[in-house]
């Protein structure tokens, strides 16, 4: 019985302790002691308890509005949300900070973190790329306004990744017609990708599948249409090997070219 009573007592004591700690935090959060709240907010932040820190900084933002601590509180409110991986809220925090404190010592860091929040909120290439376009615009503007930024290399890597997603999405959206064996639509779609962006990083694949699509379209056509359609394939074939003479795919396409030449 004594052991059982001891365990019960210990559990009760622990529960009371936890309740007391929770109540202390809540009382601090709801109170008006700005000094205690300010110190506690940074204490929680330094301990990695970012959600609690964020709540305290948010509460402080009302008290410190218009004071010398205003930009510090607003910045660390956003940084706490960022560290807590609440990028949507942090983005809003940093956007507001940039508007209200353009000359703050935290301004450049806030501007970069705002970009990072936007970047982290973008989607894989298969999904909607509207956030990607928005982020590319924001990063480009940042680099124009901060040409010597310490974050320039990171921003450049972000831009490269985002542009790769757009290139891949454009390519995959056209290539799907090839997989569906709609070869005429595939050729048109693939050529349109390069019309819109000749520097698409999937250019070699696009030119290859353009040639393959035109060959298959010609070979599956009625005999009366084959000759003129093979002529289109010849153009696509020479376009491809002209740009990529050492490609591993050259032998494959040469076989198709020779096969077509035997007929016409």
Q: What is the pLDDT of residues 4-50, one digit of tens each?
A: 444 444 444 444 544 544 568 888 888 888 899 999 999 999 999 99
Closest by CA position to 158, among listed 174, 176, 134, 182: 134
Mean pLDDT of all residues in the chain?
91
In a domain, 113, yes or no: no
Instruction: Give the model's pLDDT for residue 94.
Output: 98
| Structure confidence by residue, pLDDT tens digits, 130-144 | 999 999 999 999 999
Q: Which two tokens stand for residue 44?
A: 């929680």
Exposure string for 71-91, b = 16+ CB within 10 A, e = fewer: bbbbbbbbbbbbbbebbebbb
Domain annotation covers residue 21: yes
- In the predicted structure, residue 243 carries a pLDDT above the cut 90: yes
Q: Which residues contact 29 (CB under 8 A, 6 or more apart)?
A: 37, 55, 56, 59
Model confidence, pTM: 0.81
pLDDT of residue 223: 92
Instruction: Give domain status of residue 163, yes or no.
Output: no
Instruction: Answer whether residue 14 is part of any domain.
Output: yes
Are 111 and 142 a contacting pair, CB within 8 Å?
A: yes
Name the domain count of the chain.
Answer: 1
Burial of 148-168, coded b for 16+ CB within 10 Å and e otherwise, reads eeebeeebeebbeebbebbbb
Is residue 89, in this structure, part of any structural domain at all?
no
Can you give the pLDDT at residue 161? 97
Domain coverage including residue 21 = 1-30
What tens digit of pLDDT does each residue of 176-224 get? 999 999 999 999 999 999 999 999 999 999 999 999 999 999 999 999 9
Q: What distances in angstroms separate CA 125 from CA 69, 130, 209, one per listed residue?
A: 42, 11, 20
5 inside domain:
yes
Residue 169 contacts by C-beta under 8 Å, 6 or more apart in sequence? 125, 126, 129
Contact (CB, 8 A) for 110 and 75: yes
Q: What is the pLDDT of residues 59-86, one digit of tens each?
A: 999 999 999 999 999 999 999 999 999 9
pLDDT at 165 over 90: yes
**In this structure, is residue 169 part of a structural domain?**
no
pLDDT in tens, 89-118: 999 999 999 999 999 999 999 999 999 999
Residue 119 pLDDT exceeds 50: yes
| Cβ atoms < 10 Å from Cβ of 141 | 12
199 in any annotated domain: no
The confidence score (pLDDT) of residue 253 equals: 96
């Amino acid at each position: 019985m004594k052991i059982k009573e001891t365990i019960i007592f210990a559990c009760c004591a622990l529960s009371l302790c936890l309740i007391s700690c929770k109540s202390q935090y809540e009382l601090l959060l709801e109170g008006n002691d700005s000094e205690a709240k300010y110190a506690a907010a940074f204490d929680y932040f330094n301990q990695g308890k970012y959600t609690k820190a964020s709540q305290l900084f948010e509460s402080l933002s009302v008290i410190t509005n218009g004071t010398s601590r205003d930009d510090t509180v607003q910045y660390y409110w956003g940084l706490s949300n960022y560290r807590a991986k609440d990028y949507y809220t942090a983005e809003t925090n940093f956007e507001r900070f940039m508007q209200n404190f353009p000359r703050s010592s935290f301004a450049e860091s806030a501007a970069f973190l705002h970009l990072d929040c936007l970047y982290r909120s973008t989607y894989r290439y298969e999904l909607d790329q509207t956030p990607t376009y928005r982020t590319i615009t924001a990063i480009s503007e940042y680099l124009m306004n901060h040409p010597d930024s310490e974050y320039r290399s990171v921003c450049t890597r972000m831009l490269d990744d985002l542009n790769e997603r757009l290139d891949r999405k454009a390519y995959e959206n056209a290539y799907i017609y090839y997989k569906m064996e709609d070869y005429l639509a595939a050729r048109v779609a693939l050529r349109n990708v390069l019309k819109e962006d000749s520097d698409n990083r999937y250019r070699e694949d696009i030119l290859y599948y353009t040639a393959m699509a035109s060959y298959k379209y010609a070979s599956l056509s009625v005999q009366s249409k084959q000759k003129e359609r093979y002529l289109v394939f010849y153009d696509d074939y020479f376009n491809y090997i002209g740009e990529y003479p050492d490609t591993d795919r050259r032998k494959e396409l040469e076989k198709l070219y020779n096969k077509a030449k035997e007929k016409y």
